[in-house]
Chains A and B, each alone.
Chain A
Amino acid sequence: MFAEYSWSTAYLNFLSSLKVMGLGMLTIFLVIGIIYGAVSLLAVLDKK
């Protein structure tokens, strides 16, 4: 791995990984937020 290390490739991969980080965290919070909403709604329906 280190014998073939290329700074430019690593840097491009790093930039791509930052995009994955942003999109990934956004998607996780979106999914969890929807589940949160659904569970809260179920709790309200339970009370009724």
Chain B
Amino acid sequence: MDVLISGITSITLPQVIMMLLGGLLIYLAIKKDMEPSLLLPMGFGAILVNLPLSGVLNQVMPGIGETTGIIAWIYSVGIEASEALPLFLFIGIGAMIDFGPLLSNPRMLLFGAAAQFGIFLTFSVASLMGFELKDAASIAIIGAADGPTAILVANIFKSNYFSAIAVAAYSYMALVPIIQPFAIKLVTTKKERAMEMEYNPKGVSRTTRILFPIIVTIVAGLAAPASVALVGFLMFGNLIRECGKLETLSKTAQNVLANLVTLFLGITIAFKMQAADFLTLETLLIMLLGLFAFVFDSISGVMFAKFLNLFLKEKNKINPMVGAAGISAFPMSARVVQKMGLEANDQNHLLMHAVGANVAGQIASVVAGGIILALVPILF
């Protein structure tokens, strides 16, 4: 009889809280449309791993010995051992990205670089707060606005706060339409937001589109070898898209592969959402630091645009908001800039400029991840 009720009698308050949190993530995914493809599997996974004696985790059963749980196994093979899941997702993301707006207006690349400053600032703040360097770096990379990069860096550094980092990274990506307008308005005037920009797209040849992912991989790989896995898989996906010979593979990467990996990634991340690991004061701090990183990434992009404007002729000046699109949250960030531009001036169409900066942010964020991976271990 005891065996039959062991599940009920073993439940703890933290486990109940985590299951409620799982329910909240499912609610946000369905009702608020917040990154539903990730928050829903993560929410359901949180319920699965917090059920007492859950069969999705490794358990020791009387008379049988240790049994392997499916979520523990996928986590061990797909994330812990090889980072395969986030990297496979990068192939799909690369196949989805059209670098055309960036290639026809390459100065937007600079905003991708500038908008990574929040990562390094957060790293410093987290270090000062007492987090170990490996944890501070993992927390800071939430500011990359790039879930797979955050997961990969946190996992390679074996951060103690892996689950909180993953939840923060994906939650804030969904909150970009709320966070960015706040950050942008902090450092811009209405007159600046109303500034119009001409858009004269240049044609981009197929050769350029094909060479671009190869060049990016080689340059980033030589400067930050630790970024090769991240940049390489992203650019591999893009090469499949642009080569013009692998239409079926490109569509598979964009749809089937990306969806399948997202499905498993979400539920597998939940492995680290077990009550004992997650319900801590540090989780709350990590959520705050993640928000700080997002805000300062946006602000640094805007400030860099203002700095460039000091040297540009009147007709070439850049609407500072475009700098904020240099974070990697694609395409939400570009849409935010377009919307805010139209709010300030109904003739102000910034979308294509912002898309250019936004895809530059995709490249720069994975390079930033690689740089963090290369530089921080030297300090351990």
Binding site for B on A (CB under 8 A): 1-2, 4-6, 9-11, 13-14, 16-18, 20-21, 23-25, 27-32, 34-36, 38-40, 42-43, 46
List, in ascending order, chain B residues with CB within 8 A of A20's CB: 120, 123, 137, 372, 375-376, 379
Contact B110 A32 (CB under 8 A): yes
List, in ascending order, chain A residues with CB within 8 A of B215's CB: 35, 38-39
The answer to the question of B113 belonging to the interface, with a C-beta cut-off of 8 Å to chain A, is yes
Contact B372 A24 (CB under 8 A): yes
Chain B, interface SS category = helix
The answer to the question of B265 belonging to the interface, with a C-beta cut-off of 8 Å to chain A, is no
List the B residue with the shortest CB-CB distance to A2: B130
Binding site for A on B (CB under 8 A): 103, 106-107, 109-110, 112-113, 116-117, 119-121, 123-124, 127-133, 136-137, 202-205, 207-208, 211-212, 215-216, 219-220, 223-224, 281-282, 360, 363-364, 367-368, 371-372, 375-376, 379
Contact A14 B124 (CB under 8 A): yes
List, in ascending order, chain B residues with CB within 8 A of A5's CB: 130
A-B contact list, 23 entries, CB within 8 Å: A2-B281, A5-B130, A6-B130, A13-B133, A13-B379, A20-B372, A20-B375, A21-B123, A23-B375, A24-B116, A24-B375, A27-B223, A27-B224, A31-B113, A32-B113, A35-B219, A36-B107, A36-B109, A39-B106, A42-B205, A43-B202, A46-B204, A46-B205
List, in ascending order, chain B residues with CB within 8 A of A31's CB: 113, 219-220, 223-224, 367
- Known A-B contacts A32-B364, A39-B212; the reply to A10 vs B219 at CB < 8 A is no
List, in ascending order, chain A residues with CB within 8 A of B116's CB: 24-25, 28
List, in ascending order, chain A residues with CB within 8 A of B212's CB: 39, 42
Q: How far is the CB of A2 from chain B (nearest CB, A)?
A: 7
Q: How far is the CB of A11 from chain B (nearest CB, A)?
A: 7
List, in ascending order, chain B residues with CB within 8 A of A24's CB: 116, 119-120, 368, 371-372, 375
Q: What separation, in Å, do the CA atoms of A34 and B205 have in the docked complex?
A: 20
List, in ascending order, chain B residues with CB within 8 A of A38's CB: 215, 219
Contact B127 A13 (CB under 8 A): yes
Q: What separation, in Å, do the CA atoms of A34 and B220 have in the docked complex?
A: 9
Q: What separation, in Å, do the CA atoms of A36 and B113 have in the docked complex?
A: 11
Q: What separation, in Å, do the CA atoms of A16 and B132 have in the docked complex?
A: 12
Q: What separation, in Å, do the CA atoms of A46 and B220 have in the docked complex?
A: 23
